[in-house]
Amino acid sequence: MVSVAILGAAGGIGQPLSLLLKLNAKVTKLNLYDIVNVPGVAADISHCCHQLAGGELDAAVTGIDLAIIPAGVPRKPGMTRDDLFKINAGIVRTLVAAIAANSPKAIVAIISNPVNSTVPIAAEVLKAAGVYDPKRLFGVTTLDVVRASRFVKDVKGEADAAELRVPVVGGHSGNTIVPLLSLAQPAVELSEKEVADLTHRIQFGGDEVVKAKDGAGSATLSMAYAGARFADSVIRALGGETVVEPTFISLSADAEGAKEIQALGAGDLEFFAVPVELGTEGVKRIVPLGKPNDYELAAIKVAADELKDSIAKGVEFGRA
């Protein structure tokens, strides 16, 4: 029995994500919000599903347990995710302020890029509203994890990627995405060259789609798949199941558990993607990583250096 709002529901991600969540039996109420075309999307989905509402922002985010935000502009070839900051930062600020005012206890999952900055923005907005709980704020990095499993299986020549779990830590942009291939479960044997190629492909998987779409946007269908998986994990955890998902969180959500990743190279960064055990209150604990190898430790250091500026940029915008 979970109420969910999707903000940006008429977009390339929002539409398939709305449909996938409507097909999730545990979602008893789905509120759709966008600045364009939401009545059309709601009418369309309502012909195969019930309990769906599209409306004004305040109404859409009232009485919800989970808000998912894919609102904002996507990249075109030649752009970085950071180039989206100018437009998406303000969109995320407005939407999170409305959630804070109307459903202060809702779990907030942010898809809008640049995630490395939009999550810190959201944290500042929630703090200013006096309702910040670091256990309830997530940057959705599930697509990196989905890609990691898929691309490893492509190399190994096997079709089913679903059961392979590759931890991905850091952030959600280029070098800040750090796949820990040596810690995959079940373990996979990879040559040095395979590791280097796979790491690069996972880090820059988003660029592959942006290039292939050639100006028509970035990943939407794989992101809707990943977003629906993340939402389902949160929803199952709210219902008492133990579920682990790597996701970009404030390390203050589990200060004790964060010590390991801080010692591995995250240092004093406030936000980092880590494997998180989800629970009824959001973050239950950060799951211990084990021992990344030297190649991965070096990549974590590079990611941490880059993340520092993106986080600071988000915090500054969120406080202004």
Ligand X SMILES: O=C(O)C[C@H](O)C(=O)O
Catalytically active residues, by annotation: 172
User: Please, what is the minimum distance in Å from the beta carbon of residue 113 to ligand X?
Assistant: 5
Please choose which of ligand X, ligand NAD, none residue 300 contacts, taking the beta carbon within 5 to 8 angstroms, the exact cut-off set by kind.
none
* Mask for 164-203, x = binds ligand NAD (CB under 6 A): --------x-------------------------------
Backbone angles phi, psi at 163, to 5 degrees: -90, -5
| Distance separating alpha carbons of residues 124 and 316, to the nearest angstrom | 9
Question: Is there binding between residue 148 and ligand X (CB under 6 A)?
Answer: no
Q: Determine whether the annotation assigns residue 113 to a binding site.
A: yes
Question: Is there binding between residue 210 and ligand X (CB under 6 A)?
Answer: yes
H-type alpha helices, the chain: 14-22, 38-46, 57-60, 85-102, 115-128, 142-156, 192-203, 205-213, 221-238, 255-261, 294-319
Report CA-CA distances (Å) from 193 to 158, 178, 180, 199. Answer: 19, 16, 15, 10
User: Please, what is the minimum distance in Å from the beta carbon of residue 122 to ligand NAD?
Assistant: 13
Using CB under 6 A, pick the residue from 21, 30, 45, 111 that binds ligand NAD. 111
Q: How many CA atoms lie within 13 A of 199 on its CB side?
A: 22
In terms of Cα–Cα distance, which of 238, 237, 270, 226 is closest to 251?
Answer: 270
Q: What is the CA radius of gyration of the chain?
A: 18
Q: Determine whether the annotation assigns residue 165 to a binding site.
A: no
Unique residue bearing structure tokens 């985010």: 61
Using CB under 6 A, pick the residue from 34, 254, 270, 296 that binds ligand NAD. 34
Query: Would you say 63 and 3 are in contact if contact means Cβ atoms under 8 Å apart?
Result: yes
Q: Name the one range near ligand NAD by CB under 6 A: 153-161, 215-223, 229-237, 290-298.
A: 215-223
Using CB under 6 A, pick the residue from 31, 62, 103, 113 that binds ligand NAD. 113
Using CB under 6 A, pick the residue from 18, 22, 57, 75 that binds ligand X. 75
Using CB under 6 A, pick the residue from 126, 143, 188, 235 that binds ligand X. 143
Where in 132-151 is the site for ligand NAD (CB under 6 A)? 140, 143
What is the torsional sign of CA 236, 242, 243, 246? positive
Please choose which of ligand X, ligand NAD, none residue 220 contacts, taking the beta carbon within 5 to 8 angstroms, the exact cut-off set by kind.
ligand NAD
In terms of Cα–Cα distance, which of 164, 204, 170 is closest to 184?
Answer: 164
Question: Is there binding between residue 12 and ligand NAD (CB under 6 A)?
Answer: yes
Q: Name the one range near ligand NAD by CB under 6 A: 68-76, 150-158, 257-265, 296-304.
A: 68-76
| Distance separating alpha carbons of residues 204 and 219, to the nearest angstrom | 12
Annotated binding site for NAD(+): 8-14, 34, 88, 111-113, 223
